Amino acid sequence: MSDERITKRRIMLVGTGFVGMSFAYSMLQEKGIDEMVLVDVNEDKARGEAMDLTDGLVYADTKMKVYSGTYADAEFCNIVVLTAGAAQKPGQSRLELVKINAKITKGICEQLKANKFKGILVVANNPVDIMTYVAWKSSGLPKEHVIGSGTVLDTARLRVELSDLLGFAPSNIHAYILGEHGDSSFVSWTNSYIGCKSLLEYLDEQQISLLKLQNVYIEVRDKAYKIIDLKKATYYGIGLALKRIVSAILNNEHCILPVSSYQDGQYGQYGYFISTPTVIGSNGATQILTLPLNENDQNRFNNSFNTLVSTIKENLADIIDVD
């Protein structure tokens, strides 16, 4: 790693659409960043967004420099956040975007590789678990240095819904959406807690029906579709979720987030990316925590994983080298 990369904290954002710019705007409140460079196929859009953000820096309590650039800037960036891609349309599943966005992701990552990017790559375009795999295959980066946004946003939605149901602060609800960032995701309720108390034990004590948990999950699973129906796209939530991941990397937090990370047998699966609780720090995805899944949850995890693998093999063999 060059001296310049060590002494400067630079972030590159690839894609200045709604998601990318929601992330970029949220980063104005992150202290300690030296530079943020915006890259987009529409160079005028990137330039205009950089100018607009720069106008607000005086009120943002940061000395960050924001500017538009090119992939040539990647060599001296610590983190690249990839949000470029086709947006999910009303009625369209995330998996239906796979071929279009795989080609876009591959092209971007080949550019990063050609320009000697050696930092951490955070992927957010959909279907994110599959695009994270494409990014890993195309970038030449170590698997620990490629992280998908995964179910960080889904998990935030879950904690908000449980907070509304139970009356506890979301920060004290410890439950995760696991698996695909999509329709085959699931919640391991036996590994869910309020503070340090089992969620299922609390519900039993309060005589709250377990059927309410299924309603919570359905609300979380379908929320993106509802937002897209109402306003055509989702972006604020994922923008802040990306900020959370990037902050964890920059500040070497070693926090646990349900990101899309490379599976090496932790849940009995190998060779692809899917969302599991993962320790995030300056070296990327440093450790996957293995939860004790019961038979039903393990079957759901296997189904979610196999859904992603079959989609990759059926659709992307002509685009990337599929294992």
Residue 50 sits at φ, ψ, to 5 deg, of: -60, -40
For residue 232, the 8-state DSSP code is S
Model confidence pTM above 0.85: yes
Q: Which residue among 145, 174, 181, 254 is the active-site one?
A: 181
Q: Which CATH number fits domain 152-315: 3.90.1150.10, 3.90.470.20, 3.65.10.10, 3.90.110.10?
A: 3.90.110.10
For residue 115, the 8-state DSSP code is T
pLDDT in tens, 288-321: 999 999 999 999 999 999 999 999 999 999 999 9
DSSP string, 177-212: EEB-SSTT-EE-GGG-EETTEEHHHHHHHTT--THH
pLDDT in tens, 231-242: 988 999 999 999
Coil, strand or helix at 99: helix
181 is catalytic: yes
Write down the architecture of domain 3-148 according to CATH: 3-Layer(aba) Sandwich (3.40)
Amino acid identity, residue 267? Y
Q: Of 46, 2, 1, nearest to 24 (Cα)?
A: 46
Paired tokens of 282? 């300056």
pLDDT in tens, 48-105: 999 999 999 999 978 899 999 999 999 999 999 999 988 767 777 766 779 999 999 9
In the chain, where the domains are located = 3-148, 152-315
- Between the CA atoms of 251, 66, 140 and 109, what dihedral angle is there, to the nearest 10 degrees? 140
Q: How many CB atoms lie within 10 A of CB 292?
A: 9
